């Protein structure tokens, strides 16, 4: 007798979303004017469960960003890895992230996926007065880092974490001990993220049920528009922007690159984790693309931490979408703040499933948008997470090939050989080795 097949998190979230929508619409149509449903179901049980889940996401923002950033910055401790190579890598990752965000925001503004009429009484929100540019610049540097953490001022936390991590990397053996401690903390916070994401199906169920009770079926038509817009921008980034940059900076064939990156993209899609895909990415870069180990072992792990273009695209579209749903007009300065904040936040976005929503909460807070708007998109986020992870690892590989070529650490013959590396390790063997690691 075969063992009962366990449902994955994606299936559970989709089931929770569907069940919530069905329950909400059923109660809405069967008991349209029931005070009991409104007080004890909508504003009672569903509100409590949904709010707890949203609060659990917000709870992780500060520790996740601070610890991840300290770990990422302090890892640049080897002087030989700093300088030109480190500068090129970080600059390229931040450059592509800024491109991704700009395209995402422009697409969302032009397509307008959000419908302001959907913001009924259940989604009322009062916009806070935005600070002036001078205040923003002055407030970037924290006068009290602990206060910045308690208030959730993310730009100040990012600046302090980068400075703190840089200091750790420059005090020798003592810094190594501190870095090891933060790496252990990072493992712990990643485990907490995993635990929180196990609650996602129940949170999604409650949030979707409440939304369908209060807003009706028309809400989800707008969410479908959001979903396909994000997918379209992800494909533009993966199939247009990256190949263009590869051709422009290295002169290599984009078609050959896309052929050789397919296995990495497939594994990234199936795991929704840049970190889990990392062994496969390194293997492909070295044996199938001709990148020297000295380059691949530096740029790819760094990319799994710094380069989150797919996540940035989701954040850009989602921010505009949520603003449109709530009927909030964003200024040019707000859009610029989203680009800068989300680009910096990509440094602290860990390569594991579900972290993108936590980082989105940070971006929404920074421009004065309601974090509760995440409820509108969380039901489709897991599928988007899988697609954007494939885009993330593609960006990592493009950067690695370009940098290796510029540093003279690249074997073009291996890259142009369509059979190179296939005999060394099949995709199935790569997957098995990656899972073991």
Could you write out the three-class secondary structure of 360-404?
HHHHHHHCCCCHHHHHHCHHHHHHHHHHHHHHHHHHHHHHHHHHH
Phi-psi region of 322 (alpha: psi -120 to 50; beta: other; left: phi over 0): alpha
Q: If DSSP codes are grouped into helix, strand and coil, which group holds residue 291?
A: strand
How far apart (Å, rounded) are the C-alpha atoms in residues 248 and 403? 13
Q: What 3-state DSSP class applies to 410?
A: strand
Q: How far is CA 279 from CA 96, 297, 404, 428, in A?
A: 23, 10, 18, 13
Q: What is the DSSP letter of 115?
A: -
Contact 135, 117 (CB under 8 A): no
How many other C-beta atoms can be found within 10 angstroms of the C-beta atom of residue 117? 11
pTM of the model: 0.65
pLDDT recorded at residue 433: 52
CB contact at 8 A, 202 and 49: yes
| Rounded-to-integer distance, Cα 400 and Cα 385, Å | 23
Q: What is the pLDDT along the chain (437 residues), one digit of tens a residue?
A: 344 446 666 577 778 878 888 898 888 888 877 888 888 888 889 889 888 887 787 787 678 778 877 876 676 555 555 567 778 888 898 899 889 989 999 999 999 887 655 554 344 434 445 455 566 567 778 889 999 888 877 668 877 887 888 888 888 888 889 989 988 887 888 778 778 777 878 887 888 788 778 765 555 566 788 889 999 999 999 999 999 999 999 999 999 999 899 888 887 786 677 766 777 788 888 888 998 877 877 778 777 767 888 888 988 898 888 888 888 888 888 888 888 777 766 655 554 555 667 777 778 877 788 777 777 777 677 678 878 889 999 999 999 999 999 888 889 888 988 765 554 444 445 444 544 54
Tell me the C-alpha distance between 110 and 286, whole Å.
41
**Residue 239 near residue 403, CB atoms below 8 Å:** no
- Provide the token pair at 68: 């991840």
């Amino acid at each position: 007798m075969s063992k009962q097949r366990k449902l994955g998190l994606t299936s559970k979230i989709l089931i929770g979303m569907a069940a919530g929508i069905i329950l909400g619409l059923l109660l809405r149509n069967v008991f349209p004017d029931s005070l009991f449903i409104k007080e004890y179901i909508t504003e009672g049980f569903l509100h409590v469960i949904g709010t707890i889940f949203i609060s659990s996401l917000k709870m992780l923002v500060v520790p996740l960003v601070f610890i991840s950033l300290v770990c990422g910055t302090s890892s640049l401790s080897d002087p030989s890895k700093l300088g030109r190579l480190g500068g090129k890598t970080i600059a390229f990752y931040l450059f592509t992230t800024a491109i991704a965000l700009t395209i995402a925001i422009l697409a969302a503004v032009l397509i307008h996926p959000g419908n302001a009429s959907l913001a009924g009484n259940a989604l009322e929100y009062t916009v806070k007065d935005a600070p002036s540019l001078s205040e923003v610049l002055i407030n970037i540097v924290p006068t009290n880092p602990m206060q910045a953490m308690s208030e959730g001022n993310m730009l100040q936390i990012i600046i302090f974490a980068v400075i703190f991590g840089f200091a750790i990397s420059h005090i020798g053996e003592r810094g190594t001990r501190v870095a090891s401690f933060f790496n252990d903390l990072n493992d712990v916070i990643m485990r907490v993220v995993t635990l929180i994401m196990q609650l996602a199906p129940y949170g999604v169920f409650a949030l979707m049920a409440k939304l369908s009770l209060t807003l009706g079926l028309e809400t989800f038509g707008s969410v479908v528009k959001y979903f396909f817009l994000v997918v379209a921008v992800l494909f533009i980034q993966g199939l247009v922007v990256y190949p263009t940059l590869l051709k422009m900076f290295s002169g290599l064939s984009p078609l050959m690159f896309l052929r050789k990156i397919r296995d990495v993209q497939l594994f990234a899609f199936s795991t929704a984790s840049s970190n889990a895909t990392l062994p496969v990415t390194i293997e492909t870069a070295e044996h199938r693309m001709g990148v020297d180990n000295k380059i691949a072992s530096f740029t790819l792990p760094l990319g799994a931490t710094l380069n989150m273009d797919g996540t940035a695209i989701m954040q850009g579209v989602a921010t505009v979408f949520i603003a449109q749903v709530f009927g909030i007009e964003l200024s040019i300065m707000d859009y610029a703040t989203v680009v800068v904040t989300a680009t910096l936040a990509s440094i602290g976005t860990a390569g594991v499933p579900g972290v993108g929503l936590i980082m989105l909460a940070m971006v929404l807070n920074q421009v004065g948008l309601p974090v509760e708007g995440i409820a509108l998109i969380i039901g489709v986020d897991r599928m988007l997470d899988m697609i954007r992870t494939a885009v993330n690892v593609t960006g990592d590989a493009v950067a690695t090939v370009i940098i290796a070529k510029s540093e003279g650490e690249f074997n073009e013959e291996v890259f142009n050989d369509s059979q190179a590396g296939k005999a060394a390790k099949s995709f199935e063997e790569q997957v098995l080795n990656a899972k073991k690691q």
